[in-house]
Chain A
Amino acid sequence: EAEVAQSPRYKITEKSQAVAFWCDPISGHATLYWYRQILGQGPELLVQFQDESVVDDSQLPKDRFSAERLKGVDSTLKIQPAELGDSAMYLCASSPRGPVLTFGAGSRLTVL
């Protein structure tokens, strides 16, 4: 069964450092999403791509977060500099079209 691949699964960093997460969606899925999930809360959308174009990044803290999907396939989410409040699970999801999302296993970030 096709999966959304994410790496790293776990990342511990110190505040003010840079961190990057990678996502490879299911082949053929044009839409890719990055969500952030704080422990005990539901996922919150950070950015949505349709192919290589950003559809929605209204909730992305652009002073420190950036996301790209250069060739419309895999994607990278970067945080620089990391802050204590960025500790969370970063989830990547993809969909061919329509509303059902397939999520990856997530990248757990701890900022010390």
Chain B
Amino acid sequence: DIVMTQSPDSLAVSLGERATINCKSSRSVLYSFNNKNSLAWYQQKPGQPPRLLIYWASTRESGVPDRFSGNGSTTDFTLTISSLQAEDVAVYYCQQHYGTPRTFGQGTKVEIK
């Protein structure tokens, strides 16, 4: 199974500042068929199901604000919130969609400093 490890477990950022979350996979999730990385990011607020933010490591889902961006390749990925807003307080998860079993990172809690 591909193990996904996020860092940090939590971070506190001032409003308007940048937040960066890291995600590392135990092996490559580069899909040779299209040369894209099979990595997705989700946001989960309390009492709600997760919401898709990013897939193929850097493709923003429709309706997701452009302050959210994804980068990285092969085994190392980042989610960046360029200017943190109050509504971005949530837990963020990375997930590999390279194959089964699908696996998630343990989550990163983002709070306001």
- A complexed with B: no
